[in-house]
Structure 1
Amino acid sequence: MDLTPYVDDLQTRLAAAADAAGDDGRRLAERLTAPLDAAVRLVLLDALSDAAGEISAELAPGSVDVRLRGGAPEFVVAAPAPAAPPTAPGEPAYGVAPASAATPAAPPAVGPADVESGATTRTTLRLPDHLKTQAETAAARDGVSVNTWLVRAVAAALEQSTGRPAAQARPQPRGSARVTGWVR
């Protein structure tokens, strides 16, 4: 989404309003337009981000994210995943991995009640490139946005650290046919 037409429109309106103040007002407006360009773009990005957050709250468990690509915002819509088809006896349910699986289990889904229970806070997270790529891959695999995936991962980590023992800490009886993972 190109913000330039909106910024240009604001600058034109500022110049028109400054014309009413005469030459001094016009000169002041000309001096302010360049520094205001970055500030206006930032305010527009904040508004777009807030709008995406409100839409995401209504779409839960789907989401809408605003991403910057080359300085221009773009919207990424993650629709809720369709219900899993029933499984045959003996097959693991959708999203359930055997304990010996090489990939880690997906974090628990954050339900609509979790989204609506409190206000959201914007946080900047700087990840090394290889972790960012892995998070994007995992989010795509789960059919959710990176933001949603990160929220679920943080929720799962906090859930484990607040009293529930980690699955690896529990002793397993020999010959156990136990299956672990998350089910949606």
Structure 2
Amino acid sequence: MDLTPYVDNLREELAVAAEAGGDDARALAERLTAPLESATRLTLLNALSAAMGEVTRELAPGSVDVRLRGLDPEFVVTVPPAPEPVRETPEPAAEPAAAMAPPPADAGDGAMARINFRLPAHLKARAEAVAAAEGLSVNAWLVRAVSIALDGGERRAGPPGRGKESGGRGFTGWVR
């Protein structure tokens, strides 16, 4: 965004106002406009930054940042992620218990690796909710999700007797 037209407009308005004060006022206005240009630009940048802060609050989790490129600001818009459509999936047919179990943690060479995984808060909350609904820890659920994604989209169900795929054989309630 080019701020020059706005700075020039302010300079012209100051000159018009100084005309009313005579030659001395006009000369003073001309001497002040050059040093005031940087202050004017900084004030406009502060106003734009504050405005984009308000836009960001309304756009959350998206954002709008103001970056300075040379003398002019640039707006960087981060669009919020589109909500995933809810997909109706047909009830899966009964599968043998071996096919329903998630792959063992020691599949492959048995070595485990640790990674740090940064996830937006809204996705973390959804992952926690789904993992809890399936009776899994978030870590176990993520391991299963990565395995499914890498195995070409074959979805394996959770452990037998948990979730919808149990065919109504599960029980809920309190036991003493």
- Superposed displacement of residue 34, structure 1: 0.5
Instruction: Give the letter aligned to residue 32 of structure 2.
Output: L
Pick the structure with greater CA Rg: 2
AA partner of residue 106 (structure 1): R
- Deviation of 1:40 (Å): 0.2
Give, in angstroms, the shift of residue 71 of structure 1: 2.2
> Cα RMSD between the aligned structures?
3.2
Structure 1 residue 83, shift from structure 2 partner: 3.3
Q: Percent of counterpart pairs with the same letter?
A: 57
Deviation at 1:84, TM superposition (A): 4.9
Matched, 1:100 2:113: yes
Residue identity matched to 2:63: S
Partner of 2:66: 66
SS of alignment partner, residue 74 of structure 2: strand
**Alignment partner of 1:56: what SS?**
helix
What stretches of structure 2 of length at least 5 have no aligned partner? Answer: 87-99, 104-111, 123-138, 144-176
Superimposed CA distance per residue, residues 118-161 of structure 1 (whole angstroms, 9 cap, x where no aligned partner): xxxxxxxxxxxxxxxxxxxxxxxxxxxxxxxxxxxxxxxxxxxx
Cα distance between partner residues in 1 of 2:37 and 2:45: 12
1:164 — aligned with what?
A: none
Q: How does 1:144-159 map to 2 (within 5 A)?
A: none
Name the aligned partner's letter for residue 71 of structure 2: G
The equivalent of 1:56 in structure 2 is 56
Partner-residue secondary structure (3-state), 1:64: strand
Q: Which runs of 5+ in 1 are unaligned?
A: 92-98, 112-176
Greater than 4 Å deviation, 4+ residue runs? 177-181
Match of 1:3 in 2: 3
- 2: CA distance, partners of 1:26 / 1:33: 11
Distance 2:22 2:41 in 1: 28
Matched, 1:18 2:14: no
- Within-5 A mapping of 1:1-184: 1-84=1-84, 100=113, 102=115, 104-106=116-118, 108-109=120-121, 178=140
One-letter amino acid of the counterpart of residue 21, structure 2: A
2:154 aligned residue: none
**How far apart, CA to CA, are the structure 1 residues paired with 2:44 and 2:2?**
11
Residues in 2 aligned to 1:56 and 1:39: alpha-carbon distance in whole angstroms: 26
Length, aligned pairs only: 108
Amino acid paired to 1:100: A
Q: TM-score, normalised by structure 2?
A: 0.52
Residue equivalent to 1:154: none
TM-score for both structures, normalised by structure 1: 0.50
Partners of 2:113 and 2:81 lie apart in 1 by 25
Q: CA deviation at 1:105?
A: 1.3
